[in-house]
Amino acid sequence: MMKKLGAVLAMTAVLGLTACGGGSPSGNGEEAASPGAGGELTPVNVGVIPIVDVAPIYLGVQEGIFEEHGLDVELTPAQGGAAIVPAITSGQMDFGFSNVTSLIIARSKGLPLQILASGSSSTGDQDADFAAVMVKPDSGIEEIADLAGKSIAVNTLNNISDSTISAAVEEAGADASTIDYVEMPFPDMRAALEQGNVDAIAAVEPVVTMAKGDGAVPVFSNYAHPVDDLTVAAYFTSDQIAEQKPEETQAFIDAMKESQAFADANPDKVREILPTYTQLDPAVIEQLTLPKFAQEVNADSLQTIADISLKDGLIEEIPDMEALLPHQ
């Protein structure tokens, strides 16, 4: 049976990479100057995790996009939402990055979070996406329905990976309740699959590419299916920060959209910047399937994720989605 350990606020794509974030956060509740007022930049602190998905914000800083919008961005790496969400709600950080399931869960629990801008999105191609359910070539698992009754490694229980896989298995006509989801960090998944400790792994890049190098094969992408055009992750803040710092918040939204567009149009620059904030092997970086860096959040996909989360018991009721979604 699928393990139910309660809703957690952990990022989907935590890769266990060590990273240190320095500096003091700017979100201390004090009134900040308007972005660019008097030619000075307004400092903002953004919580990120060292993964492929956040390449656009690093490019935005490098290319001067945020400066053009009057912001001096300090990027603070964290291991996941367990650190970023409370830092946002307490005002220690201004903005942060999270997968959408964690944000839906948080909002349903009364945490006043709102999405500002799109982060990573599925490519929509089940055969070429940055997430995939991987198996050994001799596993006998060839189709989605074959995953019923199997053990599948996910980085966080009761979140975006297991909920989308279960929905896909049910859609394929099989019993998803027979799946045994096993929680483990992404870096541990390849060895677990190779040693036969699990039947399948729900991986994201760069684990997908590295697992393929081990000989593992994809069954399908649970980000590309069953939800169409899935917004996987997004940048967010608290209602309080958005109300107290409306100009900074709007400047961040505008700069983030430009950064997403720049990254989507310049995949080579995305690959070039990855070594500056991750420990990825250059050979792996060249082979990665990049996410789609959309400029807008797909609200329909988030509603579907909320419906799946309710059905699977991740949330007791669907939160006010208008309050969670971008207010523009």
The region, left, alpha or beta by phi > 0 then psi within -120 to 50, assigned to residue 113 is beta
Residue 38 has what pLDDT?
A: 58
- Portion of the chain with pLDDT greater than 70, in percent: 88
Domains of the chain are 41-122+230-324 (3.40.190.10), 131-220 (3.40.190.10)
What are phi and psi for residue 207, nearest 5 degrees? -65, -35
What is the side-by-side strand order in the sheet with 151-154?
A: 180-183, 151-154, 200-204, 131-135, 217-220
pLDDT in tens, 16-47: 332 333 333 334 434 444 565 557 999 999 99
Give the DSSP H or E segment for 248. helix 246-265
Q: What is the 3-state secondary structure (H, E, C) of 51-113?
A: CHHHHHHHHHHHCCHHHHCCEEEEEEECCCHHHHHHHHHCCCCCEEEEEHHHHHHHHHCCCCE
pLDDT of residue 8 exceeding 50, the answer is no
Cβ-based neighbours of 127, under 8 Å, separated by 6 or more: 218, 221
Residue 166 identity: S
250, two tokens: 């709007």
Q: Where would I find the H helices in 90-185?
A: 100-108, 160-171
pLDDT in tens, 159-204: 899 999 999 999 999 999 999 999 998 889 999 999 999 999 999 9
Q: What mean pLDDT comes out for the span 308-312? A: 94
Instruction: Determine the Cα–Cα distance for residues 269 and 287; give it in Å rounded to an integer.
Output: 14
Beta bridge partners of 76: 47
What is the pTM assigned to this prediction?
0.84
pLDDT in tens, 119-163: 999 999 988 999 999 999 999 999 999 999 999 999 889 889 999
pLDDT of residue 107 exceeding 50, the answer is yes
| Closest C-alpha to 164, from 121, 102, 224 | 224
Cβ-based neighbours of 138, under 8 Å, separated by 6 or more: none
Contact yes or no for 104/315 (Cβ under 8 A):
yes
